[in-house]
Amino acid sequence: MEKSFWKTQMRPVPFLLPFFIAYMLFTIYPIFKGMQMSFFEWTLIEKKEFIGFEQYARLLTDPNFWEAFRNTTMFVIFSTPGMVILALILALLANLNTKMKTLFRGAYFLPSILSVSVISYVAIFMAQPYNGVVNNIIQMFGINVEPFWLNTPSLAWVTIIAVTLWWTVGFNMILFLTALQDIPEDLYEAAEVDGATRMNMFWSITFPQLLPIARVILLLQVLASFKVFGQILLITEGGPGTATRPMIQYIYEMGFERADLGYAAAMSYILFIVLLLLSIVQLRSGGRGGRII
């Protein structure tokens, strides 16, 4: 009996052990270490003294923290609907039975494989005030204005959201496309026999079938948008001023530029709690006992 147990139940252990050790060292341990740091006056050089919840109390009166939190929240609110809706539209187009569907799928997904530095350079190049591609296109239509895309707060946000949308929507499109291809053709054939139009079939068949994956995409997109950092740092550096500085950038500045690791850790855990609560709300609203898939 024992021999059979070791042969069947314990056989996977040697294969899982390397991953388990790496997971504990590089994921679980940093989580608890960061929590410890948030209760100390901690610098890059040394751990000074235990100060309890003073770092968290400091957040309540830090206007820079609340500005960064507001900036991040606005990015989530304005970017997430576009990420989901445009991904669905592109998936529907890529799912059409045309000779160009392979080209369309590749073209929609191609930006997703680019690095953040590449897409940021493209954004800066296109948004130059006098010789940028965007302003040249505007002047081609006879509009004699020279918008400063990266120096005006509202236009800087438009630039960041547009670039992020172009860069990441391809991944969501692939998820929607996979779900579209899993819908049985029999449903559409039966609906066509009953005289349903394409719009009727979309709202009665396609849309309900896509709701589970849409909830997954919405959750992943909200979590990813709250962690926005790279493209903002490279395109605007959080400017003009601090008008586009997100939470992750403020955490980075406090931790590595000002060497205040304890305060940076406290902010990180506030962000973690926000993301955890959003995840729970999304899972609860998914129906079927909290499942989203």
Mean pLDDT for 168-194 is 89
Residue 269's closest CA among 31, 13, 19, 84? 31
* pLDDT higher than threshold 70 for residue 134: yes
pLDDT in tens, 98-130: 877 788 888 888 898 999 999 999 999 999 888
Res. 2 pLDDT band, cuts 50 70 90: low
pLDDT digits (tens, 9 = 90+) for 195-249: 888 888 889 889 999 999 999 999 999 999 999 999 999 999 998 999 999 999 9
Residue type, 170: G
Per-residue confidence (pLDDT) for residue 273, from 0 to 100: 92
CB distance 244 to 159 below 8 Å? no
Instruction: Label residue 5 by pLDDT band (50, 70, 90).
Output: low
Above 60 in pLDDT, residue 289? Answer: no
Mean pLDDT of the region 135-146: 82
**Maximum separation of any 2 CA atoms in the chain, in Å:** 85
Distances (CA, A) of 285 to 85, 172, 205, 228, 280: 19, 20, 21, 24, 8
H or E segment at 50?
strand 47-50
Show the domains of the chain with their CATH numbers: 54-91+108-284 (1.10.3720.10)
How does DSSP classify residue 7? H
Single out the residue of 82, 96, 80, 83 nearest to residue 202, CA to CA: 96
Q: What gap in Å lies between CA 32 and CA 30, rounded to an integer?
A: 6
Q: What pLDDT, on a 0 to 100 scale, did the predictor assign at position 245?
A: 95
Whether 292 has a pLDDT exceeding 70, the answer reads no
Query: What is the pTM for the complete model shown?
Result: 0.86
